[in-house]
Amino acid sequence: MRREIGEQGAAVAATLEEVRRQAGRARAAMSGRRRILFVARGSSDNAAIYGRYLVETQLGVPASLAAPSVATHYRARLDLSDTLVVSVSQSGRTEEIVEVQRWAAVHGAATVAISNDAESPLATEADVPLTTQAGTERAVPATKSYTSQLAALAGLAASLDGGESLWPLLDRAAAEVSRLEEGEAGVADAVDLLAGSDETLVTGRGLVFGTALEVALKLEETCLRPVRGLSYADLRHGPIAVVGPGLTAVVVAAQDGPMLGPIAELARDLAGRGAKVLAVGGDAVLAAAGACHVPGPDLPEPVAPLALVVPGQLIVESLARRLGLDPDSPRGLSKVTTTDPA
Amino acid sequence: MRREIGEQGAAVAATLEEVRRQAGRARAAMSGRRRILFVARGSSDNAAIYGRYLVETQLGVPASLAAPSVATHYRARLDLSDTLVVSVSQSGRTEEIVEVQRWAAVHGAATVAISNDAESPLATEADVPLTTQAGTERAVPATKSYTSQLAALAGLAASLDGGESLWPLLDRAAAEVSRLEEGEAGVADAVDLLAGSDETLVTGRGLVFGTALEVALKLEETCLRPVRGLSYADLRHGPIAVVGPGLTAVVVAAQDGPMLGPIAELARDLAGRGAKVLAVGGDAVLAAAGACHVPGPDLPEPVAPLALVVPGQLIVESLARRLGLDPDSPRGLSKVTTTDPA
C-alpha cells in the first residue's frame, strides 16, 4: 500500500493524458444529452460523488448517482435517452456495475466506462471506455486506482462543454499528488491521535464530501474499526448530539471555496463538545481549530480532491502498522468486489 | 413520543385523503416533465429516499436526491425545465430547503412542497403544496410527521401517470399502521438485545433502505449512541469485514419483493460472523435468521415502508426509557433544524 501511494502522481498524470486523448469521443457521447448518471460502489462510489459535484457545480449539468438495485433487482424501465451514464469500477468486472451499464444502454443511455482494465467487460461494452493508468494494484485497499478514477472523472468533465478551464488545474493537481505522497508533516501526530481514539468519524462537505467518505472507508477497512463518514450537513442535522469526549473527528477541507468557513466553524464546534479534531487540508484557520493538522494540497477546491486524499491514505497506512495490522491485505476483503454472493 | 406513535394511522389516512384531493394539481405540475428531484435533510431525507425508489421502480420516472449545497453554496446554474422538484420538510421552515426550492423554481423546475404547515414558506411558495395531516408533533424525534411524509410521497406517486394502482394498497397501508402502533410482539426482547449491545448497525435495501436509515437515525438521536445505517450493498462491499461479536445488526425487510431472499442471506451471514441479529419485518425465513424478531406489516413491498418503521419506533421509544433517557426531548436536538448556524 505504501509503495502504491507513492505511485499516484505518475498514475494521475498518465490517466489525465489518456482521457485527454479520448476527449472528442466523450464530447460526442454527451452531445444532445442533458444529464449524467454515475454508477459505482465502494471506493468507486466515493469517486463518483466527486464527479457528481464537479459536473453540477462546474459544468451546470444535472447529475446524480444511480441506485443499482433499481436496475438489477427491480428491473425498472427508465427512459435514459437524455442521459450519459458513467460507470466506475477498478476491475471493470464487478458484476452489478456491468449489469447496470447494460441496462442503461438498453434504456437509451450513452455509456462511459472508467476502469483500470481496457479488456474488462465494463470497458469493452461501453460507448467510450476511459482506462485509468494505475497499473496493477496489489494492495487490497484502493489508492492509486482511486486517485486515477478521480483524474478520469475530472478529465471527463474537462472534456465536456464548459469544462475546458479545468485542464490547467488538473496538470497542477498531478504535481500536487506527487508532492504530497512524500509528505510526513503531521502524520505521526495524527496516528497517535487516532490510535488512542474510542470512536472516529470523518466529515467534509460539497466537492470534498467524497474524500471524507473515502478516508472513512479506508480507515475502517484497513484498520478494522467502525468509522463513520458523514456530510457536514447530516452531522449538524442530528448526530452532532452524540459527539463528546472519546470521539476523534477527522475534518477534511480544500484550502478555499464556499465550504471552508462553515467547516472551520464545525471543527471549532466539535472541539467545543470535547471531541479531538484532526484537520486534513483547509487553511490556517482550520488548522488552528484542530488538535492536530495534516496539510493538504495547494489547489483550488474543484480539483483539490485528487490530492487531498493522499494525506488520508498516509495516515491510514501508518495507523494500520501501528495497530499491528497488515495494510496490504486487510481481513475479509477481496479485490474484485461482489454485491450479491453467487 | 409514545402517544404520537399511536396517532400515525389516523395521520397517514388523513394525509392520503388530502393528497388525493390535490392529485390533479400534482399531475398537472408533472405534465411534460421527465424527472423528479427530491430535496430534504434528516428524517425527511430518509422519507425522500423511499420516494426516489418508489418513483423509479413503480412509475419508471428517473429520480434522484439533490445535493443542497450545489444550490446554496455553489449556486450552480442547472437547467431544471424537465424536472419536478419535490421538497420535504416537516416544519416547512428549514432555511436550506426553502432556499433550494427557490433556486429550483428560478432554474425552471415545477415545485411540490411536502410540509406539515400550510402557512410555511416552503408550502406557500410551491406550485403544489401538499400538507401532511400530522397535527402538532411535540416530541422532538419525528414519528407521525415522518410516516405522513411517506404517505404524501406515495400519494404523490399514485397521482402521477402509471401510479394509480398504488391507491388501494395505500388504503391498506393506513390500516396496517394503525394495527402495528399497538404492537408489542417482540419489542421487549428487541430492547433487551439492543440495551446490551456495544455497537449497532441497521441495514436494509431498495424500497426499505430509507426505513433502515430512519431507524438508525432515531436510535442514535433518541438513545444517544452512535448507530450506523448502511445499505445491504455498501455493507457487503467492505464494512462487513469489521462485523463480529459485540455488534447488533438490525435487519429490516418487507414481507415480499426481490430484496427478501438476499437480505435473509445477509442476516444469516451476519449471525455467522458472531453478530446478534434483530429482524424487523420480513417473512418466516428472515425471522428464523435472527436472534430476535419483531413482526412487520402485511403489505406488499412498494407500500411496506409506511408501516414498517412503526415497530422500529416502538423499539426506540422503549429502549430510551430502559436507558433512563427522555425519548420526547433528546439532548442537543431541536424541532426546526438548521444546517448552517446563523
Give the tens place of pLDDT for each residue, A123-178: 999 999 999 999 999 988 899 999 999 999 999 999 999 999 999 999 999 999 99
**Helix (H, G, I), strand (E, B), or coil: what is residue B35?**
strand
Please identify, among B179, B210, B231, the residue that sits at the C-terminal boundary of a domain.
Answer: B179
* Distance in angstroms (rounded) separating the CA atoms of residues B239 and B254: 24
Out of A56, A228, A332, name the one closest to residue B76 (CB): A56
The C-alpha angle with vertex B335 and arms to B331 and B341, in degrees rounded to 5, equals 85
Does residue A47 sit in the same domain as residue A175?
Answer: yes
Note whether residue A310 is domain-resident. yes
Does residue B152 sit in the same domain as residue B238?
Answer: no
Pairs of CB atoms within 8 A across A/B: 162
Does residue B13 sit in the same domain as residue B123?
Answer: yes
Question: Which residue type, as a one-letter code, is found at position B154?
Answer: A
Does residue A133 sit in the same domain as residue A175?
Answer: yes
Note whether residue A148 is domain-resident. yes
Return the residue of B nearest to A216 by Cα.
B239
Report chain B residues whose CB lies below 8 A from the CB of A69. Answer: 205-206, 233, 258-259
Note whether residue B305 is domain-resident. yes
Please identify, among A158, A179, A200, the residue that sits at the C-terminal boundary of a domain.
Answer: A179
Closest CA to B80 of B12, B119, B32, B125: B32
Q: Report the gap between the CA of A97 and the closest CA in chain B (Å).
A: 12
Note whether residue B328 is domain-resident. no
Tally of domains within chain A: 2
Does residue A16 sit in the same domain as residue A158?
Answer: yes
Return the residue of B nearest to A96 by Cα.
B233
Inform me whether the pLDDT recorded for B299 exceeds 90.
yes
Report chain B residues whose CB lies below 8 A from the CB of A262. Answer: 340
Does residue A123 sit in the same domain as residue A218?
Answer: no
* Region of residue B332 (phi > 0: left; psi between -120 and 50: alpha; otherwise: beta): left
Give yes or no for a contact between B12 and B148, defined as CB atoms under 8 angstroms apart.
yes
Contact criterion met (CB < 8 Å) for B56 and A68: no
Does residue B96 sit in the same domain as residue B220?
Answer: no
Instruction: Output the pTM of the full model.
Output: 0.95
Does residue B36 sit in the same domain as residue B169?
Answer: yes
Q: Report the gap between the CA of B239 and the closest CA in chain A (Å).
A: 6
Note whether residue B247 is domain-resident. yes
Contact criterion met (CB < 8 Å) for B242 and A224: yes
Does residue A165 sit in the same domain as residue A29?
Answer: yes
* Region of residue B315 (phi > 0: left; psi between -120 and 50: alpha; otherwise: beta): alpha
* Distance in angstroms (rounded) separating the CA atoms of residues A67 and B236: 15
Give tens-digit pLDDT for B222-252: 877 778 888 887 787 766 776 888 889 999 9
Give tens-digit pLDDT for B187-230: 999 999 999 888 899 999 999 999 999 999 999 888 777 788 88
Q: What is the DSSP string of B187-221?
A: HHHHHHHHHT-SEEEEEE-GGGHHHHHHHHHHHHH
* Distance in angstroms (rounded) separating the CA atoms of residues B227 and B200: 5
Give tens-digit pLDDT for A240-278: 777 888 889 999 999 999 999 999 999 999 999 999 999
Q: Which of A85, A201, A225, A242 to mutate to test the interface with B (most CBs of B within 10 A)?
A: A242
Note whether residue B332 is domain-resident. no
Does residue B158 sit in the same domain as residue B201?
Answer: no
Please identify, among A124, A152, A179, the residue that sits at the C-terminal boundary of a domain.
Answer: A179
Task: Tell me the CATH number at A207.
Answer: 3.40.50.10490
Give tens-digit pLDDT for A59-79: 999 999 999 999 999 999 999
Q: Which domain holds residue A116?
A: 2-179
Q: Report the gap between the CA of A60 and the closest CA in chain B (Å).
A: 5
Q: What is residue A83's predicted lDDT score, i.e. its pLDDT? A: 98
Does residue B132 sit in the same domain as residue B86?
Answer: yes
ipTM of the complex: 0.94
Contact criterion met (CB < 8 Å) for A73 and B206: yes
- Largest alpha-carbon pair distance within chain A? 54
At A75, list the grid cell.
428491473
Note whether residue A330 is domain-resident. no
Phi, psi (deg, nearest 5) at residue A110: -85, 150
Note whether residue B336 is domain-resident. no
Does residue A304 sit in the same domain as residue A222?
Answer: yes
Q: Report the gap between the CA of B77 and the closest CA in chain A (Å).
A: 5
